[in-house]
């Protein structure tokens, strides 16, 4: 009698819609780290300044925002030094925006790789979120350095216990960009026009977030549009980030809890849609 064959891995295109394949992702964690290294090395190996660009981009952006929004437009910054106020928002926003922007092109950018060998496709967008942590870490060092300089000069900077929420805020920024990016990436496999709207959409979303203005200004001067800013899931994250590190910001735990729930729903929906599309996307890309 022939013995029953046992397989280590069985590939099938039939699976439950609610199967998130997280167990497979864990089994391929070594591949995840290889992709993280690939993303970092391939992006900067042909640049002259290399990781120094991590410092240059937020510094120049801060200078421009300070001149345009702080000096010309005279937008208040809740009593905080203008460069420090803008740098806090830029640091938090950049990580989210990078995760969203790069994740949204996963299928089209990696179609050659996906068509050659099997591995959990979710590994690729996850590697983007992890590799972006390197850039975020460098920019956090810059932010903390600038914060220390202003504190020494006597600026009204008051870090508080809410700084302990930083790991949660970082997690929310990453998975929000991941969830939205996977949804957009799945849609762009059939509707290529969406890829042209990504940069514009991210920029528009930034202006609806408290990166260049405090939430208090919106509440006092534009109450009719307050809901547009408050319903943006990144607004409570940035306000909590500023409040924890600088002591200023319209931070409430209720808003952060609501943002956390919305972010988890977006992530859950993103994984389901991504796993659904990855079965057949190679026929349309």
Write out pLDDT tens, residues 34-69: 888 877 776 666 665 666 777 888 899 999 999 999
Residue 168 within a domain: yes
Residue 44: per-residue pLDDT: 66
Residue 33 within a domain: no
Count: domains in the chain: 1
Residues 185, 274 contacting (CB under 8 angstroms): yes
* Between 93 and 123, the higher pLDDT residue: 93
Residue 40 within a domain: no
Residue 31 within a domain: no
Q: Using CB atoms within 10 Å of the CB of residue 43, give its burial: 0 to 12 exposed, 13 to 18 middle, 19+ buried.
A: middle
Residue 237 has pLDDT above 80, yes or no: yes
Residue 194: per-residue pLDDT: 74
State mean pLDDT over 15-37.
Answer: 71
Of the given ranges (42-46, 98-102, 158-162), which has the lowest mean pLDDT? 42-46
Residue 38 within a domain: no
Residue 46 within a domain: no
Residue 20: per-residue pLDDT: 56
Residue 235 within a domain: yes
- Please report, in angstroms and rounded to a whole number, the separation of the first and last CA atoms in the chain: 46
Residue 202 within a domain: yes
State mean pLDDT over 129-142.
Answer: 90
Residue 104: per-residue pLDDT: 85
Residue 254: per-residue pLDDT: 93
Residue 17: per-residue pLDDT: 47
Residues 105, 182 contacting (CB under 8 angstroms): no
Structural domain boundaries enclosing 105 = 52-283
Of the given ranges (4-18, 198-212, 236-250), which has the lowest mean pLDDT? 4-18
Confidence band, pLDDT 50/70/90 cuts, at residue 106 = confident
Q: Which residues contact 101 (CB under 8 A, 6 or more apart)?
A: 181, 198, 199, 202
Q: Could you tell me the pTM of the whole model?
A: 0.85
Of the given ranges (14-18, 114-118, 239-243, 259-263), which has the lowest mean pLDDT? 14-18
State mean pLDDT over 155-160.
Answer: 88
């Amino acid at each position: 009698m022939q013995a029953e064959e046992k397989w280590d891995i069985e590939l099938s295109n039939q699976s439950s819609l609610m199967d998130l394949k997280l167990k497979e992702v864990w089994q391929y964690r070594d591949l995840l780290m290889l992709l993280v290294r690939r993303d970092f090395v391939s992006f900067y190996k042909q640049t002259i300044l290399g990781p120094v660009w991590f410092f240059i981009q937020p510094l120049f952006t801060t200078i421009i925002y300070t001149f345009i929004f702080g000096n010309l437009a005279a937008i208040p910054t809740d009593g905080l030094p203008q460069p420090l106020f803008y740098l806090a928002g830029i640091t938090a926003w950049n990580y989210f925006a990078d995760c969203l922007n790069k994740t949204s092109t996963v299928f089209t950018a990696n179609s050659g790789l996906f068509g050659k060998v099997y591995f959990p496709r979710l590994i690729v967008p996850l590697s983007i979120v992890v590799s972006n942590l390197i850039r975020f870490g460098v920019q956090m060092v810059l932010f903390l350095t600038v914060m220390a300089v202003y504190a020494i000069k006597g600026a009204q900077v008051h870090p508080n216990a809410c700084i302990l929420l930083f790991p949660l805020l970082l997690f929310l920024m990453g998975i929000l960009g991941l969830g939205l990016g996977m949804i957009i990436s799945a849609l762009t496999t059939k509707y290529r026009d969406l890829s042209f709207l990504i940069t514009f959409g991210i920029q528009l979303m930034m202006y609806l977030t408290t990166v260049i203005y405090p939430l208090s200004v919106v509440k006092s001067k534009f109450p009719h549009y307050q809901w547009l800013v408050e319903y943006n899931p990144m607004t409570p994250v940035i306000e909590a980030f500023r409040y924890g590190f600088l002591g200023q910001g319209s931070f409430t735990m209720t808003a952060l809890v609501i943002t956390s729930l919305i972010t988890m729903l977006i992530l859950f929906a993103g994984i389901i849609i991504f796993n659904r599309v990855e079965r057949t996307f190679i026929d349309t890309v």
